[in-house]
Amino acid sequence: MTAELALGLPAVVLALVVVLLVGAAAVAQVRCTDAARAAARAAALGEDHATVVAIATDLAGEEAQVAVSESGGWLTVIVTRPLSTGWLGGSMLTARAEVSIPAEPGDP
């Protein structure tokens, strides 16, 4: 029984680590998507660049990077955020979301 436990326990721990990493990646992706959507909507309504970045950073986290661009009446917001891998090492994984939305007509 002890030999089986000694051989099986590392596999169980590895499976648990993988599940936790997938869960963390999913949460980071959802946060980036929500942040990009909210920031794009604010940009389309005429908010200034600093406000748009503040909205995205507030939703995605302080470590998020936000890029806002406009082309042909469309506003695009890209939010990237490194995935915290904790004791496994550096941030090898990155969550990224991109949302494009037409600018609202009228004065900002």
Could you report the per-residue pLDDT of 58-77, keeping only the tens digit for each? 999 899 999 999 998 899 99
Tens digit of each residue's pLDDT (9 = 90 or more) over 18-37 = 888 888 889 999 999 999 99
Task: Please name the helix (run of DSSP H) or strand (run of DSSP E) that holds residue 51, with its range, or none.
Answer: helix 49-60
Closest listed residue to residue 17, CA positions, set 89, 81, 82: 89
The pTM of this model reads: 0.80
